[in-house]
Structure 1
């Protein structure tokens, strides 16, 4: 039974409306004017308000502001296009002219009530989904991931700057997208920038824009990515690689809400929320003088730490299933499943490349599979420790590079990092970055990250 409030100054019409709506199964209250309705009834308790437009004192449309969230249906004997438009502009859900047919009125009322029920059901389902499922397409039920999801839900509605920390491949951009999607800026743009992927000489221009003639080749003015994110969110991935001049400009933007293009004399106001991510130890980089301390404090208003995949053992089956379904859809293949042996291999693997490595392994298996069941061989994971001690990494078998000595454990971090260092230093003069990455069986981004972590500079041509 729906609760309806009828506001009508004519007692005969008011009584007739109450009788009609009561016979239709509704609980009806009545009032003769807007002040009377506000004084005698809790307006937010009704499912619908049916009000005449012309009433003693304030017009019927004034009730709209007094009962936010409750649909208001306006009636009038002076129906004009202008009055209908004015009522709708003020928030009325619909408009009906007197005299009206009883069946027509009941149909209007039932339609408005049905739409209201659907709106409330949708809101309730959305709340339930948000409480039950992870935000932003992230998968996980482990305690560490539930903490991440809860922090995302808490910080998303606020304007606070967020710093996402975690190893490469853990899904830091997914967290940023989840924060944006649940924020008041969700309808605005989300501009993602990998600070490590833009050459240092171009980074300031790409981020903050430049004026015509600001430098050689600047033949026209260019709005930067910060301006492109106006009204939305700017996600700065690998913020730890930001050079000092760009750090100063970013700090100015965070402090004043202004950005100055390269070569410009005036600043521009921007409305941008900053989300940043890094796998670096920023406090250590601050101590080393490589990152501004004031910028670091500005960025870490809220920190979200993503755990590595090796600490999410209970999430692996559900995560593998999700990524497998995603890979099958993207590649246009029929649904596939993992054999028990493949699941065991996934559980035993340390996943140094985290979720990205798992996703790549599953995509490779889908491509190579002849049937719907994926086996450990298709995943092409490294052999268990005992079986791998005498084997060189498969991606390097055909290269003329001395293998690890038998006494070394190629699965240990130290020996693998030394192997990587020696291989890159010996071959980088005659191989490009793409070829080096291909021979090592990794992506160019991973190659760059390993270079940075191990302190292996690129040779200058």
Structure 2
């Protein structure tokens, strides 16, 4: 629950504002002047809402004392010039009195959301047998992921992580577990797609001796092994329907029954599930239980694909390169300028996993102290595969952030596309020597992925840079 401090000398306005905010689940404190506000330590709050004109010091005095807590200034319509001055002094925004309730609530919600996003720090993750290292990336989409992890981890609720293959869903699951109250208990990770359908129930729920052919001894299932801790089920969309029914009982009743047993056992397990598929769509085709989907989707975390994390790509590449150099004893290797451009402009349909493999390849093949584009082994632009496009029956989703599929991006009609063909070709051919793919896309008003797809559709190859072995 967000904590808000209201600083207003008129008791009627202060009281009305408090009731309004408390009805919307905010925890509210009051002050009648800057001095009273300072006595309550404004840095303890998530937001300060202050009138501009107060007895004694003006409300803008709180901006410096409250920092980094945002200060929202209230002012009358007759004092708009003063409100602008307050913004220059560092106020996060202003609302005019008499204010509209919906507008005020919307402003408060927006400011608090922005504050939570900007203050979100990457969570530390301890790999098995390794030291704690923070997750990599500071783009807006990942800031939202960090915020959701921070809020979700201690809540001990079921979590559904959605994202394309290779985006780091298991890392998010580890971060949630390690920041939860179960961090001293085991985290059991299971890839549902990697276990044969005939064995999945036995693996998850265990079996008694003689329960089926080959069951020469009793076996404890992975759900029971995670008792007291966290069970991470990756690619849960691949789970057979019979196993789904058993898992639903675990979530509803906290009970399991081994194959071949008549006894039920109580388990205390937090479930984190992950998928690259649209489970709701799968439920419509009968491939996934809708009641299980609702049980899983208490909290949802959407992981963005690497192509939507422009500012993070090179940062991630540098971190992965350092690890690859350590593994292969190739200290001192670095990426050439051309290789960095290639990494920045490539759409990475395989996401972080594909980037990691390319860098591993580069470390092995590099001669000298530089890794060049040829060492990375990336497919030429004209033959690079596009990201999976969802169809009505496939259940694949467009992106982890709920974005549009490649064919939907821009939603341009064929007539509009044809009318722009000549201009597009002329512009790209004329400027591609001087501009990067990102700059070209920005000038054309489209995404870099859309630029790549149009190149392929219109047969416009990307101009190759002269092959020079320089950094």
User: Which residue pairs with 2:72 in the alignment?
Assistant: none
TM-fit CA distance, 1:413: 6.1
The answer to which of 321-330 and 201-210 deviates more is 321-330
**Distance of aligned partners of 1:411 and 1:250 in 2 relative to their CA distance in 1, 3 Å threshold:** closer
User: Which residue pairs with 1:175 in the alignment?
Assistant: 172
Whether contact under 8 Å (1:134, 1:140) holds in the other structure is: no
Q: What does residue range 318-329 of structure 1 map to in structure 2 within 5 Å?
A: 318-329=315-326
Q: What does residue range 258-337 of structure 1 map to in structure 2 within 5 Å?
A: 258-337=255-334
TM-score, normalisation: structure 2: 0.54
Q: Does 1:254 align with 2:277?
A: no
Whether contact under 8 Å (1:135, 1:149) holds in the other structure is: no
Whether contact under 8 Å (1:336, 1:366) holds in the other structure is: yes
SS of equivalent residue, structure 1 residue 156: helix
Q: Deviations along 1:298-341, whole A, 9 cap, x unmatched?
A: 00000000011100011011110111111112223214211111
Whether contact under 8 Å (1:156, 1:182) holds in the other structure is: yes
User: Which residue pairs with 1:423 in the alignment?
Assistant: none
User: Which residue pairs with 2:185 in the alignment?
Assistant: 188
TM-fit CA distance, 1:229: 0.7
Whether contact under 8 Å (2:349, 2:385) holds in the other structure is: no
**Distance of aligned partners of 1:179 and 1:414 in 2 relative to their CA distance in 1, 3 Å threshold:** closer
**Distance of aligned partners of 1:334 and 1:286 in 2 relative to their CA distance in 1, 3 Å threshold:** same
The answer for unaligned runs of 5 or more in structure 2 is 1-118, 126-133, 390-471
Q: Does 1:228 align with 2:225?
A: yes
Q: Deviations along 1:369-406, whole A, 9 cap, x unmatched?
A: 12222111111111233xx5xxxxxxxxxxxxxxxxxx
The answer for unaligned runs of 5 or more in structure 1 is 1-129, 389-409, 416-461
TM-fit CA distance, 1:414: 8.8
Q: What does residue range 285-434 of structure 1 map to in structure 2 within 5 Å?
A: 285-385=282-382, 411=385
TM-score, normalisation: structure 1: 0.55
SS of equivalent residue, structure 1 residue 276: strand
SS of equivalent residue, structure 1 residue 193: strand
Whether contact under 8 Å (2:241, 2:288) holds in the other structure is: yes
Partners of 1:317 and 1:372 lie apart in 2 by 18
Larger Rg: 1 or 2?
1
Q: Deviations along 1:323-371, whole A, 9 cap, x unmatched?
A: 1111112223214211111110011111000000000000110111122
Whether contact under 8 Å (2:161, 2:274) holds in the other structure is: yes
User: Which residue pairs with 2:199 in the alignment?
Assistant: 202
Whether contact under 8 Å (2:209, 2:217) holds in the other structure is: yes
Supply the RMSD in Å over aligned alpha carbons. Answer: 1.9
TM-fit CA distance, 1:169: 0.5
Q: Does 1:244 align with 2:237?
A: no
Partners of 2:254 and 2:388 lie apart in 1 by 45
SS of equivalent residue, structure 1 residue 200: coil
Partners of 2:222 and 2:121 lie apart in 1 by 35
TM-fit CA distance, 1:220: 0.8
User: Which residue pairs with 2:153 in the alignment?
Assistant: 156
Partners of 2:199 and 2:381 lie apart in 1 by 44
Q: Deviations along 1:269-291, whole A, 9 cap, x unmatched?
A: 11111000000111100100110
User: Which residue pairs with 1:14 in the alignment?
Assistant: none
Runs of 4+ off more than 3 Å:
130-135, 410-415
